[in-house]
Amino acid sequence: MHGDRRREEHRHGTHLDGGGRHRAAVDTEQQDARGEWLRFAPVQPLFRALAAQRLAVLAYHGVTDHRSFGAQLDRLQRLATPVSLGAVLQAVTERRPLPPRSVLVTFDDADRSVLTHALPALDARGIPATAFVISELIGTERPFWWHEADFLARHGGRARSLDCGHPSQLLRRLKAMPDPDRRRSLHELRVSADRRPPRQEQLTPADLLALRDGGVAIGNHTQGHPCLGRCDDDTVRAEITGAHEALTRWLGEPPIAFAYPDGGHDVRAETVLQELGYRLGFLSDHRLGPRLPSHPLQISRLQVDSTTSTRRFDTILSGLEPAYRRWRRQAVA
Ligand SMILES: [Zn+2]
């Protein structure tokens, strides 16, 4: 099961590649091999020097490999300047760039492992972080919908709009359809599958306070994690506002940061965020950004996960691996 979870984490974390379980596993190996090789590329020192003048925001999901995660944090302590969400907000407010080699650690979806695995490792090193929460899961034992859909489809679940096509494309197809169709397909999978998905213990409101008190700021990641670009205007507003109200109630103060589900920027979402007083918004575009974010509601992030080897981690942090991936996609297209 552990191997499965590692692939799951990687697949959801690596929005750029999409694809199915098998493809994700192959991609992971290839990317790791690529990272090892890139580390010795003659341009890596140049990328590292340039990266010193950029802001690296790392986008993790859950932490499945705490040893490897600890090694990554040690790396950050040695090579970078970990900063808090508050420091990024201050830089934006005062129009003053963050220090060279600034890194902000973030977690999307607020898997329980952020509390059980990440917090102790961060706390031991005094590294601040931010977790983006899917509000309707808080205090429940409901799995993430993408894990649920995958499980149901592998246990006899069927949905009209998913009848044709390879099972490995399930997640990509669900994310591509209009949101009402995604919700209907999920419902059809639930009623037709011969097994119920395993329960997944989620964070509670008290856990959110424990994270915040431990130096992990809490941000909004919508109510139910739809792809905002597939939602109508009312749903975009309801998804952001619903999570905003719940988080304000639990934390006793309104959140000021938002991460776009699946990393995709949405203009309508940005309007709602501005109305609600949000100051910082985070993408999943696998890029470094300026040390003074020029569009504070569209801050770039780098995709990493706890299983990333430290060698590959270095090439991501330097911007070389993301640049190589962009170049390679263009070359293939
Ligand atoms: Zn997410």
Confidence band for 10, pLDDT divided at 50, 70 and 90: very low
Neighbours of ion ligand 1 (CB under 5 A): 108-109
Greatest CA separation for the chain: 57
Candidate from 15-19, 214-218, 244-248, 264-268 with smallest mean pLDDT: 15-19
Q: How far is ligand 1, taken at its centre, from the CA of residue 54, in Å? A: 24
Average pLDDT of the chain?
Answer: 88
Return the SS3 of 303: strand
Burial 47-85 (b: 16+ CB within 10 A, else e): bbeebbebbbbbbbbbbbbeebbbbbbebbeebbebbbb
Q: How far is ligand 1, taken at its centre, from the CA of residue 262, in Å? A: 5
Q: Which residue has the higher pLDDT, 34 or 245?
A: 245
Q: What is the pLDDT of residues 28-40, one digit of tens each?
A: 445 555 556 777 7
| C-alpha to C-alpha distance for 78 and 141, rounded to whole angstroms | 38
| Predicted pLDDT at 6 | 40
Q: How far is ligand 1, taken at its centre, from the CA of residue 45, in Å? A: 32
Q: Please list the residues that pair with 219 across neighbouring strands.
A: 132
Q: What is the pLDDT of residues 82-119, one digit of tens each?
A: 999 999 999 999 999 999 999 999 999 999 999 999 99
Confidence band for 128, pLDDT divided at 50, 70 and 90: very high
Nearest CA among 11, 66, 91 for reference residue 291: 91
Nearest CA among 148, 171, 152, 158 for reference residue 21: 171
| Statement: residue 246 has pLDDT above 60 | yes
CA geometry: angle at 15 spanning 135 and 255, to 5°?
30
Confidence band for 331, pLDDT divided at 50, 70 and 90: confident
Q: How far is ligand 1, taken at its centre, from the CA of residue 18, in Å? A: 14
Q: How far is ligand 1, taken at its centre, from the CA of residue 221, in Å? A: 7
Instruction: Give first-to-last CA distance, the chain, whole Å.
Output: 36
Mean pLDDT of 133-155: 96
Q: What is the 3-state secondary structure (H, E, C) of 214-269?
A: CCEEEEECCCCCCCHHHCCHHHHHHHHHHHHHHHHHHHCCCCCEEECHHHCCCHHH
- CATH of the structural domain 2-142+199-332, one choice from 3.40.225.10, 1.10.150.120, 3.20.20.370, 2.60.40.10: 3.20.20.370
| Statement: residue 19 has pLDDT above 70 | no
| C-alpha to C-alpha distance for 258 and 238, rounded to whole angstroms | 14
Q: How far is ligand 1, taken at its centre, from the CA of residue 165, in Å? A: 25
Q: Characterize the bridge pairing of strands 102-108 and 129-133.
A: parallel
Please give the model's pTM, rounded to 2 decimal places: 0.88
Structural tokens at position 311 = 């060698």
Q: How far is ligand 1, taken at its centre, from the CA of residue 287, in Å? A: 17
Q: How far is ligand 1, taken at its centre, from the CA of residue 15, in Å? A: 10
| Statement: residue 12 has pLDDT above 60 | no
Q: How far is ligand 1, taken at its centre, from the CA of residue 167, in Å? A: 22
Q: How far is ligand 1, taken at its centre, from the CA of residue 163, in Å? A: 26
CA geometry: angle at 261 spanning 200 and 185, to 5°?
65
Question: Which residue is associated with the tokens 């809490």?
Answer: 218
Q: Please list the residues that pair with 105 across neighbouring strands.
A: 58, 129
Q: Which residue has the higher pLDDT, 158 or 124?
A: 124
Instruction: Break the chain into its structural domains and give their ranges.
Output: 2-142+199-332
Q: What is the pLDDT of residues 188-205, one digit of tens each?
A: 999 999 999 999 999 999
| Predicted pLDDT at 293 | 94
| Predicted pLDDT at 207 | 98
Return the SS3 of 64: coil
| Predicted pLDDT at 52 | 82
Confidence band for 26, pLDDT divided at 50, 70 and 90: very low
Nearest CA among 62, 189, 200 for reference residue 144: 200
